[in-house]
Amino acid sequence: MEAIEPHWISLLWFAVFATICTLAFLVVAGMFPLRSRPDQARTGAATVLIVGNALLLSALLAGTGAYGYAELRWSSLIVVTGLVVLFAPGLFEVWPSSLRDGNTGLALLVGVQVVALAALAKVAGPFWAAMS
Protein backbone atom coordinates (compact mmCIF):
# COMPACT_ATOMS: atom_id res chain seq x y z
CA MET A 1 0.00 0.00 0.00
CA GLU A 2 2.93 2.33 0.65
CA ALA A 3 3.87 2.26 -3.05
CA ILE A 4 0.39 3.32 -4.12
CA GLU A 5 -0.35 5.89 -1.41
CA PRO A 6 2.04 6.51 1.49
CA HIS A 7 -0.66 8.22 3.55
CA TRP A 8 -3.31 5.50 3.41
CA ILE A 9 -4.97 6.54 6.69
CA SER A 10 -5.45 9.99 5.18
CA LEU A 11 -6.84 8.30 2.09
CA LEU A 12 -9.47 6.49 4.17
CA TRP A 13 -10.44 9.71 5.96
CA PHE A 14 -10.67 11.51 2.65
CA ALA A 15 -12.92 8.77 1.26
CA VAL A 16 -15.26 9.11 4.26
CA PHE A 17 -15.42 12.90 4.00
CA ALA A 18 -15.90 12.79 0.23
CA THR A 19 -18.74 10.28 0.61
CA ILE A 20 -20.50 12.52 3.11
CA CYS A 21 -20.02 15.49 0.77
CA THR A 22 -21.49 13.59 -2.17
CA LEU A 23 -24.49 12.34 -0.22
CA ALA A 24 -25.14 15.80 1.21
CA PHE A 25 -24.88 17.29 -2.26
CA LEU A 26 -27.46 14.86 -3.61
CA VAL A 27 -29.89 15.66 -0.79
CA VAL A 28 -29.41 19.43 -1.03
CA ALA A 29 -29.51 19.45 -4.84
CA GLY A 30 -32.87 17.68 -4.69
CA MET A 31 -34.30 20.60 -2.73
CA PHE A 32 -33.54 23.22 -5.38
CA PRO A 33 -35.21 25.16 -6.84
CA LEU A 34 -37.07 25.82 -3.64
CA ARG A 35 -40.48 26.00 -5.32
CA SER A 36 -40.15 22.43 -6.61
CA ARG A 37 -39.22 20.79 -3.30
CA PRO A 38 -40.92 17.63 -2.14
CA ASP A 39 -44.17 18.24 -0.22
CA GLN A 40 -42.58 17.14 3.07
CA ALA A 41 -39.98 19.92 2.79
CA ARG A 42 -42.19 22.92 2.01
CA THR A 43 -42.26 24.39 5.52
CA GLY A 44 -40.33 27.41 6.77
CA ALA A 45 -38.22 25.21 9.02
CA ALA A 46 -37.27 23.09 6.03
CA THR A 47 -36.09 26.20 4.19
CA VAL A 48 -33.79 27.06 7.09
CA LEU A 49 -32.51 23.48 7.16
CA ILE A 50 -31.86 23.54 3.39
CA VAL A 51 -29.88 26.77 3.61
CA GLY A 52 -27.98 25.49 6.66
CA ASN A 53 -27.16 22.25 4.87
CA ALA A 54 -25.95 24.17 1.83
CA LEU A 55 -23.64 26.31 3.97
CA LEU A 56 -22.30 23.31 5.87
CA LEU A 57 -21.80 21.46 2.60
CA SER A 58 -19.75 24.29 1.12
CA ALA A 59 -17.51 24.35 4.21
CA LEU A 60 -17.15 20.57 4.19
CA LEU A 61 -16.37 20.52 0.46
CA ALA A 62 -13.68 23.18 0.84
CA GLY A 63 -12.15 21.46 3.86
CA THR A 64 -12.22 18.02 2.26
CA GLY A 65 -10.68 19.33 -0.94
CA ALA A 66 -7.92 21.15 0.93
CA TYR A 67 -7.26 18.08 3.08
CA GLY A 68 -7.05 15.80 0.06
CA TYR A 69 -4.82 18.23 -1.82
CA ALA A 70 -2.45 18.59 1.13
CA GLU A 71 -2.26 14.95 2.19
CA LEU A 72 -2.66 12.75 -0.88
CA ARG A 73 -1.02 12.12 -4.21
CA TRP A 74 -2.89 13.52 -7.19
CA SER A 75 -3.51 10.06 -8.57
CA SER A 76 -5.02 8.87 -5.29
CA LEU A 77 -7.14 12.01 -5.00
CA ILE A 78 -8.57 11.58 -8.49
CA VAL A 79 -9.20 7.83 -8.22
CA VAL A 80 -10.89 7.99 -4.80
CA THR A 81 -13.00 11.01 -5.78
CA GLY A 82 -14.12 9.20 -8.92
CA LEU A 83 -15.04 6.07 -6.99
CA VAL A 84 -16.99 8.07 -4.43
CA VAL A 85 -18.90 9.98 -7.11
CA LEU A 86 -19.60 6.70 -8.89
CA PHE A 87 -20.85 4.67 -5.92
CA ALA A 88 -22.31 7.23 -3.45
CA PRO A 89 -25.57 7.62 -5.43
CA GLY A 90 -26.22 3.93 -4.69
CA LEU A 91 -26.07 4.73 -0.97
CA PHE A 92 -28.41 7.65 -1.58
CA GLU A 93 -30.93 5.38 -3.27
CA VAL A 94 -30.90 2.96 -0.31
CA TRP A 95 -32.11 5.67 2.09
CA PRO A 96 -35.86 5.70 2.66
CA SER A 97 -37.54 8.62 0.91
CA SER A 98 -38.89 9.88 4.23
CA LEU A 99 -35.31 10.56 5.35
CA ARG A 100 -34.20 12.00 2.02
CA ASP A 101 -37.11 14.32 1.38
CA GLY A 102 -38.33 15.52 4.77
CA ASN A 103 -37.38 17.67 7.73
CA THR A 104 -36.08 14.64 9.63
CA GLY A 105 -33.57 13.81 6.93
CA LEU A 106 -32.48 17.43 6.61
CA ALA A 107 -31.95 17.71 10.37
CA LEU A 108 -30.06 14.41 10.39
CA LEU A 109 -27.89 15.67 7.54
CA VAL A 110 -27.04 18.82 9.50
CA GLY A 111 -25.88 16.64 12.37
CA VAL A 112 -23.83 14.38 10.11
CA GLN A 113 -22.14 17.35 8.45
CA VAL A 114 -21.34 19.00 11.79
CA VAL A 115 -19.78 15.76 13.05
CA ALA A 116 -17.85 15.40 9.78
CA LEU A 117 -16.55 18.97 10.05
CA ALA A 118 -15.47 18.32 13.65
CA ALA A 119 -13.73 15.11 12.61
CA LEU A 120 -12.06 16.90 9.70
CA ALA A 121 -10.81 19.61 12.04
CA LYS A 122 -9.48 16.96 14.42
CA VAL A 123 -7.81 14.90 11.68
CA ALA A 124 -6.45 17.76 9.57
CA GLY A 125 -5.92 20.32 12.33
CA PRO A 126 -2.36 19.31 13.29
CA PHE A 127 -1.26 19.33 9.65
CA TRP A 128 -2.83 22.72 8.93
CA ALA A 129 -1.33 24.15 12.12
CA ALA A 130 2.12 23.01 11.01
CA MET A 131 1.63 24.70 7.63
CA SER A 132 1.08 28.14 9.13
pLDDT tens column, 52-91: 999 999 999 999 999 999 999 999 999 999 999 999 999 8
DSSP 66-95: HHHHHHS-HHHHHHHHHHHHHHHHHHHHHS
Sign of CA dihedral 39, 52, 16, 86: positive
What pTM does this model have? 0.88
- Rounded Cα gap, residues 117 and 107, in angstroms: 15
Alpha helical stretches, state H, 1-132 = 8-29, 44-71, 74-94, 97-101, 103-131
Closest to 41 in 3D by CA, of 52, 25, 30: 30
